[in-house]
Structure 1
Amino acid sequence: MKIFVVGDTHGSITKVQKKIENIKPDYIFFTGDHYSDGLELAQNNNIEFKGVVGNCDRYSSGPEDSIIDLEGVRFYLTHGHNYGVKSNLNRLYYKAEELNANIVIFGHTHISYCEKINNIWMLNPGSASRPRKSPRGTFALIEINNQSIDIKILDLVESNKTK
């Protein structure tokens, strides 16, 4: 199973659309900030969608966070602004621990990040359109096969692994 993780698109999805067409994922997980972009990408590609709203989604109706169980893996999806992720990941980590999440997916910082901390993956795909600390927009690809988890952060322009 392939999960395409993207967020912080802020209305710019052309490059994301091209990547989705090439990768052909089973799911799109959207981390917020232009929630409608995530919905549009899922509808255009007839792909299952799981997404959350971010701090820039004042007029969108969608969940602020979501727990998703797939293939024996529990995901916790949130934008991250309610957990102070620009300062540190402590509050978000403890929430994930409380929820028994295997992978926490968040956005908001526009900086890609992927690290396993005490058996919990902390994943931020970065920003597809307004990246910080990176010259290109990024996304993440999660592949699950028999509960084996492979996570990559990739550039939208090139398929080179960045982390």
Structure 2
Amino acid sequence: MKLLIVSDSHGLREELKQLKEKYENKVNAMIHCGDSELMANDEEISGYLVVRGNCDYDRQFPLDIKENIDGNKIFITHGHHYNVKMTLLNLSYKAKEVGADFVFFGHSHMLGAEMINGTLYLNPGSLLMPRGRKEKTYAIVEKNDHSITTKFFSDLHEELVDLRQTFTL
């Protein structure tokens, strides 16, 4: 399984279109964790699994998405309803409730990935206004039979190699 995860693009259009062109037929799913500030019928966001962030006004976007991709339970949210800027505890309760293998979220604009009790939690950072680092980022997650690898890329599609992590299953 291979996934593209983006978040907090705050009105960017060309960048989402470029990511779609680059990855559309190379990943199992393209995920946007909210604050796109686009409308559900905008061409640039079509093809993405999209949740509604605190800066999104189109009610067609759900607050959360539960998706099964290649036998993996994926939970997608923006994070503002789970207070992710302060703690992952509330989000971890929801992940356990839905039996998530992967949790993708945004809101804080701070990239990160960690494995907690067998569930991968990943925030891809922001394509517009990163916090904690200067690079504008997105993420690719790959899972095979033995491991999960998380990779972060700049908006110039260069991997931030020092951030790559591999989690053994």
In 1, the alpha carbon distance for the partners of 2:94 and 2:7 equals 21
In 1, the alpha carbon distance for the partners of 2:50 and 2:159 equals 23
- One-letter code aligned to 1:154: F
Query: What is the 5 A alignment of 1:130-145?
Result: 130-145=129-144
- One-letter code aligned to 1:52: V
Find 1:36's aligned residue among 35, 38, 51: 38
In 1, the alpha carbon distance for the partners of 2:80 and 2:91 equals 10
Kept in 2: contact 1:54–1:108 (CA 8 A): yes
- One-letter code aligned to 1:155: S
Q: Which runs of 5+ in 2 are unaligned?
A: 164-169
In 1, the alpha carbon distance for the partners of 2:30 and 2:107 equals 17
Name which of structure 1's ranges 134-143 and 11-20 shifts more when overlaid on structure 2.
11-20
RMSD (Å) for aligned C-alpha atoms: 2.2
CA separation of 1:152 and 1:90: change in aligned 2, threshold 3 A: same
2:3 pairs with 1:3: yes
In 1, the alpha carbon distance for the partners of 2:15 and 2:159 equals 12
In 2, the alpha carbon distance for the partners of 1:34 and 1:42 equals 8
TM-score calculated relative to the size of structure 1: 0.86
Kept in 2: contact 1:155–1:162 (CA 8 A): no
Aligned to 1:152: 151
Q: How big is each residue's C-alpha offset from its partner over 1:64-117, in whole Å with a ceiling of 9 and x where there is no partner? A: 001010111101100000000011110001110111100110000000010001
Q: How big is each residue's C-alpha offset from its partner over 1:119-153, in whole Å with a ceiling of 9 and x where there is no partner? A: 01011011111111111211111223458532222
Aligned to 2:112: 113
Overall identity of the aligned pairs, in %: 35
Q: Which runs of 5+ in 1 are unaligned?
A: none
TM-score calculated relative to the size of structure 2: 0.83
Name which of structure 1's ranges 27-36 and 141-150 shifts more when overlaid on structure 2.
141-150
Report the CA distance between 1:162 and its aligned residue: 4.8
In 1, the alpha carbon distance for the partners of 2:45 and 2:12 equals 15
Kept in 1: contact 2:14–2:44 (CA 8 A): no
Q: How big is each residue's C-alpha offset from its partner over 1:49-72, in whole Å with a ceiling of 9 and x where there is no partner? A: 211000001244210001010111
CA separation of 1:4 and 1:54: change in aligned 2, threshold 3 A: same
- One-letter code aligned to 1:109: S
In 2, the alpha carbon distance for the partners of 1:72 and 1:160 equals 29
